[in-house]
Amino acid sequence: VDEITHFFSLNKVKYLPTIKNTESSGGHKINFYIGLKAISEVITHEVELKNDSANTSQINIEYTVPQLPKAPTWAKFLLNFKISGWKFYTYISLPLLALAVGYSLLLWNYYSLSYFSLIYLISFLMIAVSFYFWLKPFYEAIDKRIGIAPYWLVRLSVISAQLRYVRTATKRDNGQYIRALQLVVYQAECPICSNRVLIEKGSNAQRGRLVGVCDESPREHVFSFDHVTKKGMLLR
């Protein structure tokens, strides 16, 4: 009977049919009938506890933006402006322009190779490569809406900052919001060891993502990061 009761309680059955009898009230006649017997609540509680422990095995984290860090004065022109109209097209056309200049320099070298043309090509390549590394974080932030801010944009007191490509209140003619680049710092308290969690670029399995990494256990306390919901969960 115990096994049957347990089986039914697992399937959320609360009562079992059972044979009952009326009490003999003075006379000799006893009536038997089929009644319901409540399954002990202890068993159902055990099942609920199992469900609860399954839910809590997922560890969640919530990020906050405690501060909007100030960029160094000389870098302010890069931020704080609304990217629209010609500025937006500059962002797109800059790599294309570099490609066109590089290709024409290459052609020049191919048809009339001289020290002069070679110096032009090499110096152009050096400028292009340094521009690539300088502007890459900005392109990433514009493309993915959020990226890691370059270290030269952040004051030394800030360990890790992000570049966010935020919507402004105004819309463009085509109905899309005008966006602007903004420097932010997302951080959180580690739900496992309550140390500081900072946003970093994910590596290996987390490649291409931004992840929250714990200061104290950077290999194991790694959390997903969504800058829209400001939430995440333990990744390993």
Query: Does residue 60 belong to the site contacting Zn ion (CB under 5 A)?
Result: no
Residue 193 Cβ vs Zn ion, minimum distance, rounded to whole Å: 4
The residue (of 114 and 217) whose beta carbon lies closer to Zn ion is 217
145: Cβ–Cβ under 8 A, 6 or more apart, which residues? Answer: 164, 165, 227
Residue 211 Cβ vs Zn ion, minimum distance, rounded to whole Å: 13
Measured between its terminal Cα atoms, the distance across the chain in Å is 43
Query: What is the C-alpha separation between 223 and 193, in angstroms, rounded?
Result: 13
Which region among 42-50, 52-60, 72-80, 211-219 touches Zn ion (by CB under 5 A)?
A: 211-219
Query: Does residue 114 belong to the site contacting Zn ion (CB under 5 A)?
Result: no
Within 10 angstroms of residue 223's Cβ, the number of other Cβ atoms is 25
49 CB burial (10 A radius; 0-12, 13-18, 19+): exposed
The residue (of 220 and 226) whose beta carbon lies closer to Zn ion is 220
Query: Does residue 217 belong to the site contacting Zn ion (CB under 5 A)?
Result: yes
Query: Does residue 214 belong to the site contacting Zn ion (CB under 5 A)?
Result: yes
Query: What is the C-alpha separation between 46 and 35, in angstroms, rounded?
Result: 26
Long-range contact list for 6-10, CB < 8 A, 24+ apart?
A: 6/43, 8/39, 9/39, 9/40, 9/43, 9/44, 9/47, 10/47
Query: Does residue 190 belong to the site contacting Zn ion (CB under 5 A)?
Result: yes
The residue (of 69 and 191) whose beta carbon lies closer to Zn ion is 191
Query: What is the C-alpha separation between 124 and 130, in angstroms, rounded?
Result: 10
The residue (of 164 and 221) whose beta carbon lies closer to Zn ion is 221
Angle at 30 between CA 25 and CA 32, to 5 degrees: 130
Figure out which of the listed residues 192, 201, 206, 233 binds Zn ion, where binding follows CB under 5 A: 192
Query: Does residue 168 belong to the site contacting Zn ion (CB under 5 A)?
Result: no
36: Cβ–Cβ under 8 A, 6 or more apart, which residues? Answer: 15, 16, 17, 18
Figure out which of the listed residues 10, 68, 100, 193 binds Zn ion, where binding follows CB under 5 A: 193
Which region among 21-29, 145-153, 159-167, 208-216 touches Zn ion (by CB under 5 A)?
A: 208-216
The residue (of 59 and 135) whose beta carbon lies closer to Zn ion is 59
Residue 204 Cβ vs Zn ion, minimum distance, rounded to whole Å: 19
168: tokens are 């402004």
Figure out which of the listed residues 105, 161, 162, 221 binds Zn ion, where binding follows CB under 5 A: 221
Query: Does residue 188 belong to the site contacting Zn ion (CB under 5 A)?
Result: no
The residue (of 98 and 192) whose beta carbon lies closer to Zn ion is 192
Binding residues (CB under 5 A) for Zn ion: these are: 190, 192-193, 214, 216-217, 221
